[in-house]
Amino acid sequence: MSYTLADQLEGKPMFAPYGNSMMCLLHESTFAKGGKGCYYCLKNKPQSPEEKFDREFRPHTDITAGKHRGNGHSAAANPPDSAKAHDMRKIYEAFCAAGSGGSIAEDIYLPLGFLPQTGSARCSDLKRQGKLVPALDAYGKRRSGTTKTGSSAAILVADIFATAG
């Protein structure tokens, strides 16, 4: 008789003593008594939607390294990856809310309270991962908008609104 995920959902015990260790009845693998579970259970542990999302968005270690060229103060000011992933999620969700029309990055991150240097870096991370893509017009050309200073900027859309070109 084999143990199934349905047994686990019904609350049946998943681990049984096996000599000096324990056996995972689902994966038929052993682990030390007092351990948290077998390798496969721990590896495939269910994640909250936020954990899964933050793991999906992997920020660049230092997207601005080319600009500051290893300056110690800039490197020290570089936030941890978990904070970057959280910021990326907020910006991405705002682009999703903007819909298929998209927006220039500045119009998304400034209302969220990000400084230009932070918002721009997180948008660069999202573009690098393909989560933000240029919006295209009916002829397949990139659409552009105007920043607060009058400069031209690409209109971006979330990947879920990208059209095949």
Dihedral sign computed on CA atoms, order 48, 31, 16, 7: positive
User: What is the reported pLDDT for 30?
Assistant: 74
CATH top-level class for 49-161?
mainly alpha
User: For the segment 94-126, what is each residue's pLDDT rounded down to a tens digit?
Assistant: 999 999 999 999 999 999 999 998 999 999 999
- Two tokens at 54? 């933050």
The residue extents of the domains of the chain are 5-43, 49-161
Query: So what's the pLDDT on residue 165?
Result: 46
> What integer pLDDT is reported at residue 1 of this predicted model?
45
Q: What is the pLDDT of residue 140?
A: 86
Q: What residue ranges of the chain have pLDDT lower than 70?
A: 1-14, 26-28, 36-37, 39-58, 60-66, 68-70, 163-165
Contacts of 81 (CB under 8 A, 6+ apart): 58, 59, 61
* Percent of the chain residues topping a pLDDT of 90: 37
Residue 72 has what pLDDT? 72
